[in-house]
Amino acid sequence: MQLEPIQEPGTQDRRVRRSRAALMAAAVRLVSERGTSDIPVTDLAEAADVSRRLVYLQFGDRDTLLTEAAIALVRRELLPRAGDGGDTAEEVAALTRHFAEHRSFYRPMLTGSCAFAMTGTLNKLFGSLNRPAVRKLFGDLDRQTADDLSEFIAGGAATLVNNWVIDGTDPLDPEELTNRLLRLASTLAFSHRGRSAGGDAR
């Protein structure tokens, strides 16, 4: 599974990388502890032991910092578990476990001022997750249509995960959502194979 790169130029020196990492870690911790994404920039800077000015210099604004913190969390904790794309069931299970484990962070991110940016980020995540499967299943599609279909399916999967993270019964049950998502994938695959076989028969 691959995720779009965040803005992290290779020319950054070690001090800049450390301050960015400290700010993103502080963002995840404070949002999780307080249950809100409405964290003052001053609090984020103090928790990371940097100046407020550095927050704006490196991220532009608070919501960009919070969104990039979410992307960094996915890169660090979800992607290594998800494997190389060979086992769809394990990738989906890794994804649902990740969101269940970090619900205290993702829930406020999906309901606060970062909700729009977070939804777009999750759509990219799901798109990268299902793009190989879509191309395998609908191999005769042109690239644009395959990419559009991946994004279309990703939007639906992201909506299910969003609703589960926001409104699901506590504690969340990753196995239950994994099974739901896999049933949907199986239904899509079965439907496509059935239409293809019918078309061939005619």
More confident residue, 40 or 188: 40
Report pLDDT for 135. 73
Q: Read off φ and ψ for residue 127, nearest 5 degrees.
A: -65, -45
Q: From residue 89, give the alpha-carbon distance in Å to each of 133, 163, 189.
A: 12, 21, 14
Instruction: Please compute the mean of the pLDDT values over residues 104-127 and round it to a whole number.
Output: 90
Which one-letter amino acid corresponds to residue 38? D
Report pLDDT for 191. 66
pTM over 0.75: yes
Does the pLDDT of residue 73 top 80, yes or no? yes
Strand ranges, E, within 37-87 = none
Instruction: Please compute the mean of the pLDDT values over residues 130-140 and round it to a whole number.
Output: 74
Report pLDDT for 123. 82
Instruction: Please compute the mean of the pLDDT values over residues 2-31 and round it to a whole number.
Output: 78
CA-nearest of 154, 136, 130, 150 to 192 is: 136
Query: Whose structure tokens read 């005619």?
Result: 202
The rounded distance, in Å, linking the Cα atoms of 9 and 101 is 30
The rounded distance, in Å, linking the Cα atoms of 159 and 122 is 9
Question: In this prediction, what percent of the chain has a pLDDT beyond 70?
Answer: 85
pLDDT band at 150 (very low <50, low <70, confident <90, very high): confident
Instruction: Please compute the mean of the pLDDT values over residues 164-170 and round it to a whole number.
Output: 96
The rounded distance, in Å, linking the Cα atoms of 176 and 110 is 21
